[in-house]
Structure 1
Amino acid sequence: MSVHTQAVQGKKTSRNEEFDAVVVGAGIGGMRMLHELRQLGLSVKVIEAAPEVGGTWFWNRYPGARTDSESWVYAYSFSKELQDEWDWSERFATQPEALAYLKYVADRFDMRKDILFNTRVNSAIYDEQSNEWTVTTEQGGTYTCKYFIPASGLLSLPYKPDFNGINNFQGEWYVTGNWPEEKVDFTGKRVAVIGTGATAVQVIPIVALTAEQLTVFQRTPNYVMPGRNYVLTEDERQSIRANSDTIWAMARQHFFGFAMAPAGRVMADFTPEEQQKILEGGWEAGGFRFIFETFDDLLVNDESNAVASEFVRNKIRAIVNDPATAEMLCPKDYPLAGKRPPLGHFYYETFNRDNVSLVDVSNNPITEIAKNGVRVGNDEYEADVIIFATGFDAGTGALTHMNVQGRGGVTLKEKWEHGPRTHLGIGVDAFPNMFMISGPQTPFANIPVVIEGAVEWIGQAIKSLRDNGLDRIEATPDATEAWNDHIAQIVNATVLSKGKRSWFFGDNVPGKAHASLFYFGGAGEYRRECLASAENNYDGFVVA
């Protein structure tokens, strides 16, 4: 047994245990919540399906996995000592390094003793008479608590299309969101990658290095920003530590939770030549600086976005040698940021390799997984390995797949049949004392920044209840409808609403209601809205 999994393990049990709070998930959100609740003196049990902490960074072990946020802000800010002790090695941390960081945090703050590993939650049911939640697990455990806090993650339930014939395929197949721990060897193999979203953009360049042949099946091309990753020097790490207060202050106020300042300019104020020069600077800087440090109106002005979109298309045409392949890789029917833009690490360059080919399935979709490969119409592409990089049932998926029942037995799945309804992305009417961390209708932004703001708010709400002799807090129906309308108004004022098959709206999952799954008013503005609610006696909530 690994030293990192010898903490409490899931076992078949029928014993009932009582805690002040039960947290579901030991990823970034669940671990941060555990620390916050301990500071309040509460008894806590964290229930985790995996044998280790890490959440997303445990399960997503696929080749090339790394953060799209700069490592020094894809971290916790609650401990100055932790920031001083940990050394990030690269601008964008790899999956092993991100997981190592979270393991270090778990050990540094002795978290494992309060985490139940290898245990999956089956149901969480609220009892109105006792004002308690009863959480049951697939292993037979029962846990009662005052506060139920799902921290199951916004991208934790992989979506794999139900292709015909998958069971007849004679080769190996993998889902990126549930990748095996052991190394997968692609040497000399014909590999098919289905999907070209953020995960596939990371997988494809790595697999291409050793595969005999790599065939990429693309339904919707993406605007891929260059990562421009680099190894951090000791001087750079010292500078980050010295300026950590300023860095975190910037990140908390930034639209997407990054340590970036607004550009302070809009595109219409510049000549076409000047626009191209500024865009070139953003492209060379790498990461999401192309979007956030060039012009402040790229996400809200169609004309400005069109110029930036064409700039990216011209970069694709310049990088990819074959004109037909380059055009297939160019998004043309939706704006930049209409889908989640990935960061690439030699993604477009990979299509210049002799062993890599691109298949457009936008109008001629995959018809089945055949015995020896992938069939598209009358054509069959032979493969020894298939990688499904088909994304997630984002935002709501992990929550609606648990049997979460509120007052009157209503389930979250029923409540959200037509899309999520929350207040602040934290509370749901008819679900008292349930606090969601990075739930639907919270910001889509650098997730540790979003999580820390939500966790601090939840901690203060619980402290306020206890200090005032109260024991229940619940979002009101009016507040949830108002928040939903607010979110719709915000997103409809941006180019994000014009995306194609975007998981921002659940459009990547057949049958899922089209609704904005995220708050696009910005991480800084979201923090201010949460603070305003708390300062106004938790406006939008009934406290009793």
Structure 2
Amino acid sequence: MADKTLDALVIGAGVAGLYQLHMLREQGLDVRAYDAASDVGGTWYWNRYPGARFDSEAYIYQYLFDEDLYKGWSWSERFPGQPEIEQWMHYVADSLDLRRDIVLNTRIERAVFDEDTNRWTVTTDSGETIDTQFLVTCCGMLSAPMAELFPGQGDFAGQIFHTARWPREGAELAGKRVGVIGNGATGIQVIQTIADQVDQLKVFIRTPQYALPMKNPAYGPDDVAGYKSRFDELRQNLPHTFTGFEYDFTVAWADLTPAQRTVRLEEIYDNGSLKLWLASFAEIFSDEQVSEEVSEFVRAKMRARLKDPELCELLIPEDYGFGTHRVPLETGYLEIYHRDNVEPVAVKNNPIARIVENGLILTDGTLYELDVIVMATGFDAGTGALTRIDIRGRGGRSLKEDWGRDIRTTMGLMVRGYPNMLTTAVPLAPSAALCNMTTCLQQQTEWINEAIRHMRAHGKTVIEPTEAGEDAWVAHHDELADANLISKTSSWYVGSNVPGKPRRVLSYVGGVGAYRQATQEAAAAGYKGFALG
């Protein structure tokens, strides 16, 4: 006998979980959301490292289902920092009166599907069991930290912090010898923020990154009124662009002269956003010549700032194309390496061998003495949040084992063999990487909500992908992915940062608008590709 019975259980109280809870509750379900954190916010609860902030414009990283909710919050700048974002998440939870149906400080450890009852039995870390018809996972794309990576981490006498588990009370870094492992989007934010606070900063760099300068103006009353006046435009536009941002690819490379291309690149670069990546020329993802020309444009911008040939060699990518990795925005990041107290350390060909009591040692025996180690080492993206839960489907099959062999989903919304488990921010959907997250998470949670509404209206109790439906989606996904240069590059986008993880482009690369249309067409055709019973 379970301790509690629900119609639906939502795992996660972040951007997707809050909205999913709201919608399912509105249609009359007995639903609870569970989260391991001590408050709501998801990624914006956990990622409170120095310098954490948006790199989507704040006014598009918002819910668009309620005009009053949208306009009731005012942002202070174009790309706000984590404290302000977390406050916004609290505003959403409180405005919608969601807290009464959220269980915090509770980790979901196990979920088992009962084929006799067509329901899930979910177990928490406290031993509570919940019987639920629907299990809806809103665990986040980047929420399973790669934290235990090096031998000897337990021997370190100082402090080790993974950026996604930064202490709420903060960390004292002033006057310390600090090492940052990793220089992706998160690492860059940390490095540029703490460089002038610490005594010494060692940055351990495996893969250089193309980085774009962020322009982050403060917002006054006129700016706020301006973006709020665009609510209808944004609501109509964002779900249909290629990446869920307000800008899109509109000009073909071949239609412009070389001089016109340069003018366009300069104008977009000057925008100070991700626009160069997500709305310059779509051919950067498919045409190696175009990729190289745009990559060289960005390299030249970086060289002009770095000046030092040795720094240029270490910090500017040469072996992969711009945009095939996650593109970071930065504020004075490159100039950090001109400081006397900052030293970049190349570890691609001389990896970190182990962590010792007083620092870390590279493969060649070099010791770097440190007081604090910051691990900006990323995540087991897309799959890790669910494979770290013991999820058992039909016949006792294990999701961890299934995805350990082959990462498959149906539209990123369900996995065959796991009935009534509906998913957000998992592989084979744009929300796995190439999307303004709120745009994609809203779309997915709305689809899930309508699927459950449809089932209830038609007396159905079970939904599950068919074998043919899942095969068709995986084949479609792979056909697009294989033609995209992202698939030729090693990064977390293809799971290569996780030892033993099956290689597959995690994100659907056909575009947010096309994905939305495909999922809507499946629903309109009586949930084609899914079996309802």
Q: Among residues 493, 500, 505, which one is paired with 1:511 in the alignment?
A: 500
Report the secondary structure of 1:136's partner residue.
strand
Cα pair 1:317 1:327 within 8 Å, conserved? no
Q: Among residues 328, 335, 354, which one is paired with 2:314 in the alignment?
A: 328
Q: Greater CA deviation, 246-255 or 138-147?
A: 246-255
1:340 aligns with 2:326: yes
Matches within 5 A, 1:276-295: 276-295=262-281
1:312 aligns with 2:298: yes
What is aligned with 1:88?
A: 75
What is aligned with 1:379?
A: 366
Cα pair 2:61 2:437 within 8 Å, conserved? yes
Give the Å deviation of 1:292: 3.1
Cα pair 2:2 2:131 within 8 Å, conserved? no
* Runs of 5+ unmatched residues, structure 2: none
What is aligned with 1:4?
A: none
What is aligned with 1:232?
A: 219
What is aligned with 2:512?
A: 523
Report the secondary structure of 2:9's partner residue.
strand
Report the CA distance shift for 1:41/1:86 in structure 2 as closer, same or farther (over 3 A): same
Cα pair 1:422 1:429 within 8 Å, conserved? yes
Aligned equivalents of 2:278 and 2:440: distance in 1? 18
Cα pair 2:486 2:505 within 8 Å, conserved? no
Q: Among residues 244, 250, 256, which one is paired with 1:270 in the alignment?
A: 256
Q: Among residues 332, 346, 352, which one is paired with 1:360 in the alignment?
A: 346
| TM-score between both structures, scaled by the size of structure 1 | 0.95
Aligned equivalents of 2:214 and 2:312: distance in 1? 19
Aligned equivalents of 1:298 and 1:432: distance in 2? 39
Q: Among residues 41, 64, 81, which one is paired with 2:51 in the alignment?
A: 64
Aligned equivalents of 1:498 and 1:232: distance in 2? 40
Report the secondary structure of 2:507's partner residue.
coil
1:187 aligns with 2:159: no
What is aligned with 2:101?
A: 114
Q: Percent of pairs identical after alignment?
A: 41
Report the CA distance shift for 1:126/1:15 in structure 2 as closer, same or farther (over 3 A): closer
Aligned equivalents of 2:193 and 2:307: distance in 1? 20
Matches within 5 A, 1:72-471: 72-262=59-249, 264-376=250-362, 377-443=364-430, 444=433, 445-471=435-461
Aligned equivalents of 1:295 and 1:428: distance in 2? 34
Report the secondary structure of 1:297's partner residue.
helix
Aligned equivalents of 1:374 and 1:389: distance in 2? 15
Amino acid at match of 1:513: P
Report the secondary structure of 1:285's partner residue.
coil
Report the CA distance shift for 1:319/1:161 in structure 2 as closer, same or farther (over 3 A): farther
Aligned equivalents of 1:291 and 1:401: distance in 2? 32
* Runs of 5+ unmatched residues, structure 1: 1-13
Report the secondary structure of 2:296's partner residue.
helix
Give the Å deviation of 1:103: 0.6
Between the two proteins, the alignment pairs up a number of residues equal to 529
Give the Å deviation of 1:15: 6.1
What is aligned with 1:9?
A: none
Aligned equivalents of 1:248 and 1:336: distance in 2? 30
Aligned equivalents of 2:329 and 2:49: distance in 1? 16
Aligned equivalents of 1:229 and 1:222: distance in 2? 21
Cα pair 1:122 1:403 within 8 Å, conserved? yes
Amino acid at match of 1:429: R
Report the secondary structure of 1:417's partner residue.
helix
Report the secondary structure of 2:441's partner residue.
helix
Amino acid at match of 1:159: M
| TM-score between both structures, scaled by the size of structure 2 | 0.97
Describe the superposition over 1:83-115 as per-residue Cα deviations: whole angstroms up to 9, x where unpaired.
111001111121111111111111111101101
Q: Greater CA deviation, 511-520 or 172-181?
A: 511-520
Give the Å deviation of 1:475: 0.4
What is aligned with 1:478?
A: 468
Aligned equivalents of 2:405 and 2:473: distance in 1? 15
Cα pair 1:335 1:498 within 8 Å, conserved? no
Aligned equivalents of 1:50 and 1:292: distance in 2? 32
Amino acid at match of 1:131: N
Report the secondary structure of 1:217's partner residue.
strand
Cα pair 1:160 1:388 within 8 Å, conserved? yes
Give the Å deviation of 1:194: 0.4
Report the secondary structure of 1:247's partner residue.
helix
Amino acid at match of 1:471: T
What is aligned with 2:28?
A: 41
Amino acid at match of 2:318: K
Report the secondary structure of 1:191's partner residue.
strand
Report the secondary structure of 2:449's partner residue.
helix
Describe the superposition over 1:374-415 as per-residue Cα deviations: whole angstroms up to 9, x where unpaired.
212221112111101000000000101101111111111122
Aligned equivalents of 2:347 and 2:220: distance in 1? 43
What is aligned with 1:534?
A: 523
What is aligned with 2:480?
A: 490
Q: CA RMSD in A?
A: 1.3
Cα pair 2:277 2:327 within 8 Å, conserved? no
Cα pair 2:62 2:438 within 8 Å, conserved? yes
Give the Å deviation of 1:269: 3.2
Aligned equivalents of 1:252 and 1:360: distance in 2? 41
Give the Å deviation of 1:523: 1.0
Aligned equivalents of 1:15 and 1:462: distance in 2? 23
Report the secondary structure of 1:29's partner residue.
helix
Q: Among residues 1, 18, 41, which one is paired with 1:31 in the alignment?
A: 18
Report the secondary structure of 1:281's partner residue.
helix
Describe the superposition over 1:455-502 as per-residue Cα deviations: whole angstroms up to 9, x where unpaired.
1111111111111111111001221122111111111112211223x1
Aligned equivalents of 1:164 and 1:414: distance in 2? 25
Give the Å deviation of 1:417: 2.0
Give the Å deviation of 1:248: 2.5
